[in-house]
Amino acid sequence: MTPVIEAQELTHSFGKEEQRVIAVNGFSLHIDAGELVILMGPSGSGKTTLLALLGCLLRPTSGRLRLLGKEVSTLSSGSLAQLRAETIGFVFQSFNLLSALRAWENVALVGDFLLQRPVGVRARAMELLEQVGLGHRVDHLPADLSAGEKQRVAFARALLNNPPIILADEPTANLDADNRAVIADLLRRAADQQSVSVLVATHDERLQDWADRILRIEDGQLRDGT
Amino acid sequence: MRTFRIILGIGLDLLLFGLLVPGATILGGKRLDAVFFPSLSLDHLFFDLTGIALIVWGAVWFFLAARLLITEGRGFLTELFGFRISPVPERLVTRGPFAVHRHPVCIGYLALLAGLSLILGSLGSLAVGIPLLFALTYSYLRLFEEPGLQKRFGSDYRLYAGRVPLFWPAKRRRIPLAFRNLHGDRIRFSVNVLGVSFAILLICFQLSILKGTRSQITTYIDHTGADIWVMQQGVDDFIATSALPRKAVQDLEKLDGVDRAVGIYAVYTLLKTNRVKSRVYVIGYDTRSGDGGPWKLGRTLPHLKNSRELKDNEVLLDQDLAQRHRLEPGDTLSLFGRTFTVAGLTLETMSIGSQYAFLSREAFGRIVPGGEFSFTHILLWKSKEIPDDVIIRRIEAATRLTGLTRARLADNMREFLGMFMLPLLMVGVVMGFLVGCITIGITLYTSTLERFREYGTLKALGATDRYLYGLLLRQALFSLSLGTALGFGLALLADHFINQWVPGMTAGLDVAITIQTIVAGLAMALFSTALPMWRLLQLDPLEAFRA
């Protein structure tokens, strides 16, 4: 079976010459459909840079990246944006909801990025919010939602376009224990029920219980796990 | 062989689509114009600007699409009815204009032709030629091109066709993010709308003053009704000094085709009363016939029923001028050192910078030096349907004086006005335009910086630069439309105020000015998005990861 995410010797460095910092250094990984992988490492270890590389937000300095069997390193920035909209759902540490939009609009917004907006986006956004337990909060603005609710809206947003990949950056860092479990359950369910490949970058050890595999990163290199 | 086919294809394209099709459309359209629309004219700035916009857009769209077909599709354009003249594209192109609709080359070409028809002012081309061409193109694409492409690219093309429309981009109901972004900060939004409305008011008002002034400056010329104006040789406006011998009137009346000729005086002077000074254009007219006199009277002394009853010691004053000097019928004033009684007030006799006063020709002749031997202008009415230029040639041959048609003299006056008024008014229009650009631009820029991380999130989630530009443009257009509505409301009020309360000025807001102002507003919206968009292009989507 072709891995959904397949990275070979991914390297990314910032700066030039003497000031060069290698954030990710020859990192290889593969994630299959329906797998939930936790990427652990201390702050500054290169977790976020790796996530940005896998999410096609950064171009690798060297190495190869294939998503759904397709080489993406050579795509134009417009094609990468399209790929992100169609293929990847993002969950951010700070939720990153748009303050001017209601909960359901935040979820439905990503439908606008597709070349052809699918029909029934609003209904799908409502359905997803219902699934994450926010059916009663669909018309609320982010400012009126708790941290846990915001992250659940962000999770619903990540699922709107039925992406085969979810990349989550410290999704539980700003949440209490109850909400942490809710978000971890949602990620697990997405992997199990919708065969989504989930990669979670975190330094929260308690999330390990939900993972299929754990990768450890240090100084931009894979230290443990395969 | 490949090179030969490419050259042959380009040659055929140029012949067919560069020459024959446009030629047939325009020439056919012109024939239709002559038969069906002889009195309808598209000769207007709005149509010219729209035509230019269509040509520019059509050309850009056409060449972008053609370039993509050649560079990415690795093929050329010429395939007619399945017959491949030049090598056809090997790869399916789905980006750029091809992401908007499936046949951008055709759409760009049709837009170009429509723009050309507009510029050439051919209603026949627009109403018949272009729609016919569109119908033919549509039929050809459906019957030949589309089946050929499906055959060549298989399921890839079917998927593409399912996603992208043939011609018209599918109407998609978007999340109203642009509106929400604007509406989020109501104070800033209100300031923005007020700024735009001020800019629109400034542009609209300056243009309407220009128009009002242009019509006002020829008011006397228009109302005399004379077909031809005769002046001293070399004089071609109603401002410069002119002196003609009185006997020229008889000479002119003898000419074939002249019904009557009437001499008048027209001299500028300064009126000083009640500590108010005004520049007045004093007309000495023929009180026997009323020719050259006022055409509409307001309040008058009881004995004065019409302008033919004016006595030599009386004057008729423009109503606004009289109001400014606090003069009423029956009051006296001094002109050229003589005392006159205000016998009545005249209406519609104000012009930019001066108003009219009317004396009898006899009184005037005694005032100005040499007045008993001369006139300043002679008004002439034709008796037969003889062309104006024929009469003018006869006048010049017989009297060595200058003759001008009423329309020509009015044009000359408008041109004269333009020489000193236009630069001033254009400064106002440009200032209004800049105020609008800066207001919308600053508002957009500050709101963009404020939501920088949110824009980063949008980029990370898959928003393209085009989507972000659309977002900015919609915000600009939204501010613009509200500001424009308010600005036009204010301009109407300002026009009303000027026409009612400001003596000597007329404002004339009309459809043409409305269209010109809206076009200027649209340009404002486009310009104002440049700086914020430049910042968004620099924006790194990694911004979304910053906690």
The three-state secondary structure class of B6 is: helix
Confidence tier at B503 by pLDDT (50, 70, 90): low
- Please name the helix (run of DSSP H) or strand (run of DSSP E) that holds residue B151, with its range, or none: helix B146-153
- Whole-angstrom CA distances from B1 to A215, B5, B78 are 58, 6, 15
**pLDDT at residue A174, as a whole number:** 82
Of A112, A115, A157, the CB nearest to B163: A115
In chain B, what are the domain boundaries? 2-163, 177-216+416-545, 233-400
- Residues B158 and B151: their CA atoms lie apart, in Å, by 10
CA angle B123, B129, B133 (to 5 degrees): 150
**pLDDT at residue B450, as a whole number:** 81
**Higher-confidence residue: B11 or B288?**
B288
Confidence tier at B179 by pLDDT (50, 70, 90): confident
The residue length of chain A stands at 226
Which of B261, B256, B292 shows the shortest CA–CA distance to B393? B256
Contacts of A55 in chain B (CB under 8 A): 460
Contacts of B177 in chain A (CB under 8 A): 98, 100-101, 105, 109
Mean of pLDDT values over B30-36: 76
Of A55, A76, A101, the CB nearest to B177: A101
Confidence tier at B162 by pLDDT (50, 70, 90): low
Count CA atoms within 13 Å of residue B297 on its CB side. Answer: 20
Q: How many separate helices (H) and strands (E) can be counted in chain B?
A: 20, 15
**pLDDT at residue B386, as a whole number:** 85
**Under the phi-then-psi rule, with left for phi > 0, alpha for psi from -120 to 50, and beta for the rest, what region is B96?**
left
| pLDDT, chain A, mean | 88
- Residues B238 and B267: their CA atoms lie apart, in Å, by 10
Residue matched to tokens 């299929």: A212
Closest CA of chain A from B165, distance in Å:
10
Of A83, A84, A109, the CB nearest to B177: A109
Contacts of B458 in chain A (CB under 8 A): 98, 109
Of A78, A93, A108, the CB nearest to B464: A78
**pLDDT at residue B81, as a whole number:** 63
Mean of pLDDT values over B322-329: 89
Contact (CB<8Å) B463/A81: yes
Residue matched to tokens 């916009």: B53
Confidence tier at A115 by pLDDT (50, 70, 90): low
- The amino acid at residue B143 is L
Of A19-28, A189-198, B81-90, the range with the lowest mean pLDDT is B81-90
**pLDDT at residue B203, as a whole number:** 84
- Residues B544 and A168: their CA atoms lie apart, in Å, by 12
The three-state secondary structure class of B262 is: strand
Q: How many CB atoms lie within 10 A of CB A135?
A: 12
Contact (CB<8Å) B181/A100: yes
Within its chain, how far is the Cα of B280 from the centroid? 32
Of A58, A79, A101, the CB nearest to B542: A58
Q: Residue B107: pLDDT above 60?
A: yes
Contact (CB<8Å) B462/A85: yes
Q: How many CB atoms lie within 10 A of CB B347?
A: 14
In this structure, which CATH number among 3.30.750.24, 3.30.70.100, 2.30.110.10, 3.40.50.300 belongs to the domain A33-59+74-213? Answer: 3.40.50.300
Whether residue A90 lies within 8 A of chain B, CB to CB, comes out as yes
- Whole-angstrom CA distances from A83 to A76, A163, B357 are 10, 10, 78
Which of A46, A53, A48 shows the shortest CA–CA distance to A67? A53
Of A55, A76, A113, the CB nearest to B467: A113
Q: Residue B110: pLDDT above 60?
A: yes
Contact (CB<8Å) A117/B172: yes
- Residues A73 and B368: their CA atoms lie apart, in Å, by 92
Whether residue A48 lies within 8 A of chain B, CB to CB, comes out as yes
- Residues A191 and B20: their CA atoms lie apart, in Å, by 61
Of B461, B542, B547, the CB nearest to A110: B461
Q: Are A172 and A204 in contact (CB under 8 A)?
A: yes
**pLDDT at residue A119, as a whole number:** 63
Mutate to test the interface with A, among B457, B466, B543, B546 (most CBs of A within 10 A): B457
- Please name the helix (run of DSSP H) or strand (run of DSSP E) that holds residue B231, with its range, or none: strand B228-231
Confidence tier at A17 by pLDDT (50, 70, 90): confident
Instruction: List the structure tokens of A70.
Output: 């397709």
The rounded percent of chain A whose pLDDT value lies above 90 is: 48
Beta bridge mates, B362: none
Radius of gyration (Cα) for chain B, nearest Å? 33
pTM > 0.90? no
Confidence tier at A31 by pLDDT (50, 70, 90): very high
Q: Residue A132: pLDDT above 70?
A: yes
| pLDDT, chain B, mean | 84
Q: Are B178 and B475 in contact (CB under 8 A)?
A: yes
Q: A77 to chain B: nearest residue by CA?
A: B464
Confidence tier at B219 by pLDDT (50, 70, 90): confident
Closest CA of chain A from B481, distance in Å:
21
Most confident residue range from B235-244, B326-335, B478-487: B326-335
**Under the phi-then-psi rule, with left for phi > 0, alpha for psi from -120 to 50, and beta for the rest, what region is B377?**
beta
Contact (CB<8Å) B461/A112: no
Whether residue A110 lies within 8 A of chain B, CB to CB, comes out as yes
Closest CA of chain A from B474, distance in Å:
15
Q: Residue B509: pLDDT above 60?
A: yes
**pLDDT at residue B229, as a whole number:** 93
Beta bridge mates, B231: B402
| pLDDT tens digits for range B461-471 | 999 888 888 88
Mean of pLDDT values over B402-418: 86
- Residues B516 and B250: their CA atoms lie apart, in Å, by 49
Contact (CB<8Å) A52/B542: yes
Contacts of A101 in chain B (CB under 8 A): 175, 177, 180
- Residues B318 and B279: their CA atoms lie apart, in Å, by 12
Which of B162, B171, B164 shows the shortest CA–CA distance to B65? B164
Q: B180 to chain A: nearest residue by CA?
A: A100
Q: Residue A16: pLDDT above 70?
A: yes
- Please name the helix (run of DSSP H) or strand (run of DSSP E) that holds residue B158, with its range, or none: helix B155-163
The rounded percent of chain B whose pLDDT value lies above 70 is: 93
Q: Residue B151: pLDDT above 90?
A: no
Which of B191, B192, B171, B201 shows the shortest CA–CA distance to B477? B192
The rounded percent of chain A whose pLDDT value lies above 70 is: 96
Q: Residue B171: pLDDT above 60?
A: no
Mutate to test the interface with B, among A58, A77, A98 (most CBs of B within 10 A): A98
- Contact residues for B402 (Cβ-Cβ < 8 A; gap 6+): B230, B231, B232, B233, B234, B235, B236, B396
Within its chain, how far is the Cα of A65 from the centroid? 16
Confidence tier at B41 by pLDDT (50, 70, 90): low
- The amino acid at residue B404 is L
**pLDDT at residue B453, as a whole number:** 86
**pLDDT at residue B424, as a whole number:** 78
CB-count exposure of residue A152 (10 Å: 0-12, 13-18, 19+): buried
The full DSSP string for B371-426 is TTTEESEEEEEESS---HHHHHHHHHHHH--EEEEHHHHHHHHHHHHHHHHHHHHH
Q: Are A60 and A40 in contact (CB under 8 A)?
A: no
Q: Angle between the A121-131 and A147-159 helix axes, to the nearest 10 degrees?
A: 130
Contacts of A115 in chain B (CB under 8 A): 99, 163-164
Confidence tier at B148 by pLDDT (50, 70, 90): confident
Q: Are B86 and B152 in contact (CB under 8 A)?
A: no
Contacts of B466 in chain A (CB under 8 A): 78
Q: Residue A153: pLDDT above 90?
A: yes
Mean of pLDDT values over B420-425: 74
Which of B36, B52, B32 shows the shortest CA–CA distance to B44? B52
**Higher-confidence residue: B546 or B109?**
B109
| A92 backbone dihedrals φ, ψ, rounded to 5° | -105, 160
Instruction: List the structure tokens of A54.
Output: 């896998």
Q: B547 to chain A: nearest residue by CA?
A: A94
Contact (CB<8Å) A94/B547: yes
Q: Residue A136: pLDDT above 70?
A: yes
Residue matched to tokens 């040789």: B233
Confidence tier at B314 by pLDDT (50, 70, 90): very high
Contacts of A76 in chain B (CB under 8 A): 95
Q: A53 to chain B: nearest residue by CA?
A: B542
Contact (CB<8Å) A82/B464: yes
**pLDDT at residue A1, as a whole number:** 67
Q: Residue B172: pLDDT above 60?
A: no
- Residues A151 and A211: their CA atoms lie apart, in Å, by 19
- Residues A194 and A160: their CA atoms lie apart, in Å, by 12
Mean of pLDDT values over B241-247: 88
**Higher-confidence residue: B417 or B262?**
B262
- Residues A155 and A187: their CA atoms lie apart, in Å, by 8
Closest CA of chain A from B450, distance in Å:
11
- Residues B219 and B508: their CA atoms lie apart, in Å, by 14
Pairs of CB atoms within 8 A across A/B: 102
Count CA atoms within 13 Å of residue B242 on its CB side. Answer: 25
Q: A125 to chain B: nearest residue by CA?
A: B175
The rounded percent of chain B whose pLDDT value lies above 90 is: 21
Mean of pLDDT values over B132-137: 89
Q: Are B219 and B318 in contact (CB under 8 A)?
A: no
Within its chain, how far is the Cα of B130 from the centroid? 25
Of A84, A99, A169, the CB nearest to B461: A84
**pLDDT at residue A40, as a whole number:** 92
Of A6-15, A126-135, B16-25, B257-266, the range with the lowest mean pLDDT is B16-25
Confidence tier at A53 by pLDDT (50, 70, 90): very high
Between strands A165-169 and A197-202, the pairing is parallel
Instruction: List the structure tokens of B309.
Output: 């009853």
- Residues A37 and A47: their CA atoms lie apart, in Å, by 13
Mean of pLDDT values over B412-418: 80
- Residues B172 and A118: their CA atoms lie apart, in Å, by 9
The full DSSP string for chain A is ---SEEEEEEEEEESSGGG-EEEEEEEEEEE-TT-EEEEE--TTSSHHHHHHHHTTSS--SEEEEEETTEE-TT--HHHHHHHHHHHEEEE-TT----TTS-HHHHHHGGGGGSSSPPTTHHHHHHHHHHHTT-TT-TT--GGGS-HHHHHHHHHHHHHTT--SEEEEESTTTT--HHHHHHHHHHHHHHHHHH--EEEEEE--GGGGGG-SEEEEEETTEEEE--
Contact (CB<8Å) B164/A116: yes
| pLDDT tens digits for range A201-222 | 998 888 888 999 999 998 888 8
Mean of pLDDT values over B74-96: 74
- Please name the helix (run of DSSP H) or strand (run of DSSP E) that holds residue A22, with its range, or none: strand A21-31
Closest CA of chain B from A98, distance in Å:
6
